[in-house]
């Protein structure tokens, strides 16, 4: 109920204006590296002493073509910087197709594909990779089609699948082929019962079934969860299917369980941190609040002390 309310608020202009004007900087800073490329590069440099990184230039639900083009330009300059700073072998980028105009009424999917293609070209030029985030279930088919199209030229493009969706075991089977990079997460969007598991236990069981498919397949599973039980199961399955620690990644969000991240890295595991930056932090921030009631309590205390 609380999660649904927060996720609905994430799409409200009124809540957005109130939150953006509020004194929430310390909490936002926990989850977002900063608003500038310099801030993202500095954070990436620190993290890459023991972990890998995927950088997300924040943005979603773009409403005009100019915004989509500006985002492509921002990714291109980010990628150039990663190359110049010698970070491209440890840092890739993540993109959201809605930020590239996927939902624009005219030619949205084509505009998003062309934009993502330009980002892939810039990534290839510096020798790194791109992973395409997954948004709500209304976009799953379009997003997977775009990933397939991109993979014709850039076979290393990563896909994201969400265990909360009932369809995802089938998608894992489709995407577990040689070289296929698949990031498996639980899913951050409020989805209807008709397409999604609604209880945490069902989402977790689905996650394990999906993990088995990916770990026994021939791609690179990217295990995106902070859930210690699922991390332990992933490590166990990797061993069972003869994968070395180089043959899969554990992935977590910037600011979430940082001690677990460094601890796993110290044990020799490949840990990648999802590092968002930029001014468009509202939707991302609200999803992080929705994931954990304790974040909300902190948020409420900040609100009352205004």
Q: What are the residues binding ligand FDA (CB under 6 A)?
A: 133-134, 160, 162, 183, 185-189, 224-227, 251-253, 256-257, 274, 288, 291-292, 295
Contact in structure between 290 and 262 (CB atoms under 8 Å): no
Compare residues 65 and 162 and give the one whose CB is closer to ligand FDA: 162
Compare residues 88 and 203 and give the one whose CB is closer to ligand FDA: 203
Minimum Å distance from CB 298 to ligand FDA? 10
- Note if 133 is an active site residue: yes
Distance in angstroms (rounded) separating the CA atoms of residues 254 and 256: 6
Task: Give Cβ neighbours of residue 233 (< 8 Å, ≥ 6 apart).
Answer: 208, 211
- Residue of 103, 151, 183, 287 with catalytic role: 183
Task: Give Cβ neighbours of residue 90 (< 8 Å, ≥ 6 apart).
Answer: 48, 52, 53
- Residue of 51, 81, 117, 133 with catalytic role: 133
Compare residues 56 and 109 and give the one whose CB is closer to ligand FDA: 56
At 62, list the tokens: 């773009």
Minimum Å distance from CB 225 to ligand FDA? 3
Compare residues 106 and 193 and give the one whose CB is closer to ligand FDA: 193
Compare residues 125 and 138 and give the one whose CB is closer to ligand FDA: 138
Q: In the chain, at which residue ranges do the beta strands (DSSP E only) sit?
A: 52-57, 91-95, 130-132, 158-162, 181-185, 220-224, 249-253, 271-277
Minimum Å distance from CB 215 to ligand FDA? 17
Minimum Å distance from CB 207 to ligand FDA? 8
- Note if 240 is an active site residue: no
Contact in structure between 33 and 254 (CB atoms under 8 Å): yes
Q: How far is CA 161 from CA 50, 237, 300, in A?
A: 26, 18, 32
Task: Give Cβ neighbours of residue 161 (< 8 Å, ≥ 6 apart).
Answer: 134, 168, 171, 172, 175, 182, 183, 184, 185, 210
Minimum Å distance from CB 165 to ligand FDA? 9
Q: Which residues are catalytic?
A: 133, 183
């Amino acid at each position: 109920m609380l999660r649904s309310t927060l996720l609905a608020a994430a799409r409200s202009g009124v809540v957005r204006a109130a939150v953006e004007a509020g004194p929430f900087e310390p909490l936002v800073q926990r989850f977002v590296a900063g608003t500038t490329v310099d801030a993202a590069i500095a954070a990436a440099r620190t993290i890459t002493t023991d972990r890998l990184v995927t950088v997300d230039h924040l943005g979603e639900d773009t409403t005009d073509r100019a915004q989509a083009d500006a985002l492509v330009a921002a990714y291109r300059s980010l990628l150039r910087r990663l190359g110049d700073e010698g970070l491209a072998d440890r840092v890739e980028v993540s993109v959201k197709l809605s930020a590239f105009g996927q939902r624009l009424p005219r030619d949205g999917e084509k505009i998003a594909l062309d934009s993502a293609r330009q980002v892939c070209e810039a990534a290839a030029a510096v020798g790194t990779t791109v992973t395409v985030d997954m948004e709500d279930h209304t976009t799953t088919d379009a997003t997977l089609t775009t990933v397939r199209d991109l993979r014709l030229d850039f076979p290393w493009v990563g896909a994201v699948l969400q265990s909360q969706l009932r369809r995802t075991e089938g998608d894992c089977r489709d995407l577990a082929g040689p070289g296929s990079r698949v990031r498996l997460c639980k899913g951050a969007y409020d989805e209807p019962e008709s397409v999604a598991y609604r209880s945490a236990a069902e989402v977790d069981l689905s996650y394990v079934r999906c993990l088995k498919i990916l770990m026994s397949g021939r791609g690179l599973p990217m295990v995106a969860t902070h859930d210690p039980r699922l991390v332990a199961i992933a490590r166990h399955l990797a061993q069972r299917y003869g994968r070395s620690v180089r043959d899969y990644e554990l992935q977590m969000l910037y600011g979430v369980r940082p001690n677990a991240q460094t601890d796993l890295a110290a044990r020799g595991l490949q840990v990648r941190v999802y590092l968002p930056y930029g001014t468009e932090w509202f939707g991302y921030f609200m999803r992080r609040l929705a994931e954990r009631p304790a974040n909300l309590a902190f948020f409420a205390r900040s609100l009352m002390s205004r």
